[in-house]
Structure 1
Amino acid sequence: MQIYRVGGAVRDKLLGRPVSDIDWVVVGASPEHLLALGYQAVGKDFPVFLHPQTHEEYALARTERKTAPGYHGFAFHAAPEVTLEEDLARRDLSINAMAEAEDGQLIDPYGGQRDLAERRLRHVSPAFAEDPVRILRLARFAARFGDFSVAPETMALMRQMVAAGEVDALVAERVWQEIARGLMEPWPARMFEVLRDCGALARLMPELDRLFGVPQPAEHHPEIDCGVHVLMVLQQCARAQAPLTVRFAALCHDFGKGLTPPELLPRHIGHEGRGLAPLQALAERWRLPSDCRELAELVVREHTHVHQAGGFSAEARLRLLERCDAPRRPERFAELLLACECDARGRLGLEDRPYPQRPLLAADLAAIRALDQAAISAAALAQGLKGPAIGRAIQAARLQAITACESDRPR
Structure 2
Amino acid sequence: MNIYRVGGAVRDQLLGLEVNDVDWVVVGATPQEMLDRGFQQVGRDFPVFPHPETKQEYALARTERKTAPGYTGFAVHADPDVSLEQDLARRDLTINAMAQDDAGNIIDPYGGQRDLEQKLLRHVTAAFVEDPLRVLRVARFAARFFPLGFRIAPETQSLMQDMVAANELNALVAERVWTETDRALVELDPQIYFDTLDDCGALAQVFPELVPVWRHGKPSARQLLSAVAQVDTSPQLRFAALAMSMEPDQLKAMAARLRIAKSYYQLAELANRHVPGLHGFASMNTAARLHLLESMDVLRRPQRIQPLLRLARCHWLLLQPQESGYPQAELVLDAINAISTVKADDLVKQGVKGVAMAQALRLKRLKAQI
TM-score, structure 1 normalization: 0.86
User: In structure 1, what is the Cα distance between the partners aligned to 2:295 and 2:16?
Assistant: 49
Q: Work out which of the residue numbers 353, 365, 369 in structure 2 matches 1:398.
A: 365
Unpaired segments ≥5 residues, structure 1: 256-274, 404-411
Q: Which residue of 2 aligns with 1:80?
A: 80
Given that 2:26 and 2:61 are in contact with CA atoms closer than 8 Å, whether structure 1 keeps it comes out as yes
Q: Which residue of 1 aligns with 2:249?
A: 277
Q: Work out which of the residue numbers 181, 184, 203 in structure 1 matches 2:183.
A: 181
Deviates more, 1:176-185 or 1:33-42: 33-42
Given that 2:342 and 2:361 are in contact with CA atoms closer than 8 Å, whether structure 1 keeps it comes out as no
User: In structure 1, what is the Cα distance between the partners aligned to 2:115 and 2:9?
Assistant: 16
TM-score, structure 2 normalization: 0.95
Q: Which residue of 2 aligns with 1:194?
A: 196
Given that 2:62 and 2:77 are in contact with CA atoms closer than 8 Å, whether structure 1 keeps it comes out as yes
Given that 1:192 and 1:201 are in contact with CA atoms closer than 8 Å, whether structure 2 keeps it comes out as yes
Q: Which residue of 2 aligns with 1:34?
A: 34
Q: Which residue of 2 aligns with 1:272?
A: none
Given that 1:121 and 1:138 are in contact with CA atoms closer than 8 Å, whether structure 2 keeps it comes out as yes
Deviation at residue 41 of structure 1 after TM alignment: 1.1
Distance change (3 Å), C-alpha of 1:65 and 1:330 = same
Q: Which runs of 4+ in 1 moved over 6 A?
A: none
Q: Which residue of 2 aligns with 1:376?
A: 347
SS in 1 for 2:102: coil
Distance change (3 Å), C-alpha of 1:280 and 1:3 = same
Q: Which residue of 2 aligns with 1:145?
A: 145
1:322 aligns with 2:294: yes
Deviation at residue 242 of structure 1 after TM alignment: 3.6
Given that 1:121 and 1:151 are in contact with CA atoms closer than 8 Å, whether structure 2 keeps it comes out as yes
Q: Which residue of 1 aligns with 2:207?
A: 205
1:294 aligns with 2:269: no
Q: Which residue of 1 aligns with 2:221?
A: 230
Superposed CA offset, 1:286-324 (max 9, x none): 111111111111111112111111222222211110111
SS in 1 for 2:267: helix
Deviation at residue 181 of structure 1 after TM alignment: 0.8
User: In structure 2, what is the Cα distance between the partners aligned to 1:306 and 1:329?
Assistant: 17
Q: Which residue of 1 aligns with 2:7?
A: 7
Distance change (3 Å), C-alpha of 1:388 and 1:284 = same
Q: What amino acid does structure 1 have at the position aligned with 2:142? A: A
Given that 2:9 and 2:19 are in contact with CA atoms closer than 8 Å, whether structure 1 keeps it comes out as yes
Distance change (3 Å), C-alpha of 1:6 and 1:277 = same
Given that 1:234 and 1:342 are in contact with CA atoms closer than 8 Å, whether structure 2 keeps it comes out as no
Distance change (3 Å), C-alpha of 1:294 and 1:114 = same
Deviation at residue 335 of structure 1 after TM alignment: 2.6
Q: Which residue of 2 aligns with 1:89?
A: 89
Distance change (3 Å), C-alpha of 1:242 and 1:307 = farther
User: In structure 2, what is the Cα distance between the partners aligned to 1:295 and 1:52?
Assistant: 40
Q: Which residue of 2 aligns with 1:246?
A: 237
SS in 2 for 1:41: coil
User: In structure 2, what is the Cα distance between the partners aligned to 1:48 and 1:338?
Assistant: 43
Q: What amino acid does structure 1 have at the position aligned with 2:338? A: A
User: In structure 2, what is the Cα distance between the partners aligned to 1:119 and 1:300?
Assistant: 38
SS in 1 for 2:210: helix
Distance change (3 Å), C-alpha of 1:309 and 1:380 = farther
Q: What amino acid does structure 2 have at the position aligned with 1:235? A: S
Deviation at residue 175 of structure 1 after TM alignment: 0.7
Deviation at residue 56 of structure 1 after TM alignment: 1.7
Distance change (3 Å), C-alpha of 1:130 and 1:210 = same
Q: What amino acid does structure 2 have at the position aligned with 1:338? A: R
Q: Work out which of the residue numbers 310, 315, 339 in structure 2 matches 1:343.
A: 315
Q: Which residue of 1 aligns with 2:332?
A: 361
Given that 1:235 and 1:346 are in contact with CA atoms closer than 8 Å, whether structure 2 keeps it comes out as no
Deviation at residue 346 of structure 1 after TM alignment: 4.4
User: In structure 2, what is the Cα distance between the partners aligned to 1:365 and 1:19?
Assistant: 43
Given that 2:95 and 2:121 are in contact with CA atoms closer than 8 Å, whether structure 1 keeps it comes out as yes
Root-mean-square deviation over aligned CA pairs: 1.7
User: In structure 2, what is the Cα distance between the partners aligned to 1:347 and 1:16?
Assistant: 39
Superposed CA offset, 1:197-248 (max 9, x none): 011100111111122564x5xxxx5xxxx5xx32121122221124121111
Q: Which residue of 1 aligns with 2:161?
A: 159
Given that 1:246 and 1:339 are in contact with CA atoms closer than 8 Å, whether structure 2 keeps it comes out as yes
User: In structure 2, what is the Cα distance between the partners aligned to 1:113 and 1:357?
Assistant: 51
SS in 2 for 1:317: helix
Q: What amino acid does structure 2 have at the position aligned with 1:28? A: G
Given that 2:140 and 2:184 are in contact with CA atoms closer than 8 Å, whether structure 1 keeps it comes out as yes
Distance change (3 Å), C-alpha of 1:114 and 1:345 = farther
Q: What amino acid does structure 1 have at the position aligned with 2:347? A: I
Distance change (3 Å), C-alpha of 1:346 and 1:235 = farther
User: In structure 1, what is the Cα distance between the partners aligned to 2:289 and 2:52?
Assistant: 60
Q: Which residue of 1 aligns with 2:19?
A: 19
User: In structure 2, what is the Cα distance between the partners aligned to 1:345 and 1:138?
Assistant: 32
User: In structure 2, what is the Cα distance between the partners aligned to 1:365 and 1:22?
Assistant: 47
Deviates more, 1:119-128 or 1:332-341: 332-341
Unpaired segments ≥5 residues, structure 2: none
SS in 1 for 2:25: strand
